[in-house]
Structures are given as C-alpha cells and as structure tokens.
A = this chain, B = another copy of it.
Amino acid sequence: MEKEKIKIECCDSFHVHEEVVNTVTEMMPEEEVLYDLAELYKVFGDSTRIKILYVLFEADLCVCDIAQLLNMGQSAISHQLRVLKQARLVKFRREGKSVIYSLADDHVRTIIDQGMEHISE
C-alpha cells in the first residue's frame, strides 16, 4: 500500500523536491498507456502512411487505386493499410471484387492538422 520511495539525489544536490516527484508519479499514465500512445504516433511517423491518410481525406478508395495514386506497389500499400487498420485509423468495406478503405474517424484529421500547425510555424 505504501508508495515506493523515489530517492532523487543528483547534480550534487536535490533539484527535484518531493512534491514534484509526487505530482509526476501521480500524473504519469500507466506504462502500458504510454506505450500504446507511442505506438499510435509511430503509425503517423511514416510518410507513406501519411500520404494514404491524405488520399483518404478526399475519397474512399480501393487498395490498387491508392497504390496508383501514390505510385507505389500494391503490396506496400496493403502492408501499410494493415498498420493503419490495426491502429483503428482506417476502416474498410468490400465492394464487388475490391476492398474500399476509408477514414475511421475525425481524430485522424485533428491529429494531422495539429502536426501541420506545429511544423508550419
């Protein structure tokens, strides 16, 4: 029950007060949540996936259409769509012989817009 004590002694003195240590340990999300969060951002951390998302901003498209638009191989796109799917950033439906991909929700747009805002400052 007793909270594990964290001894902060560095820089030849105590820079971090116990108060800060407590606040930090309280505010810090669970290790697992932090890991999941990093995993989500990793998905955005590839320009091919960013491009796919941008393309899907404009229209719902099948795999080979995306591949053509981005001038990339079908397999590469399929692999990346899997990553986006696992992160619940895109969803899909079957239409005839094709599988049509579309954006899962508005978070995608918000997150990308925020990033855009940051880099264009």
Contacts and interface: CB of A to CB of B under 8 A. Distances in A.
A55 interface: yes
Interface in A13-69: 15-16, 20-21, 23-24, 27-29, 31, 33-47, 49-51, 54-55, 57-59, 61-62, 64-65, 67-69
A67 B9 CA distance: 11
Interface string A97-112: 1100000010100111
A98 to B, nearest CB: 6
A62 B11 contact: yes
SS of A interface (majority):
helix
Interface residues of A, number: 62
Interface of A: 6, 8-12, 15-16, 20-21, 23-24, 27-29, 31, 33-47, 49-51, 54-55, 57-59, 61-62, 64-65, 67-69, 88, 97-98, 105, 107, 110-112, 114-121
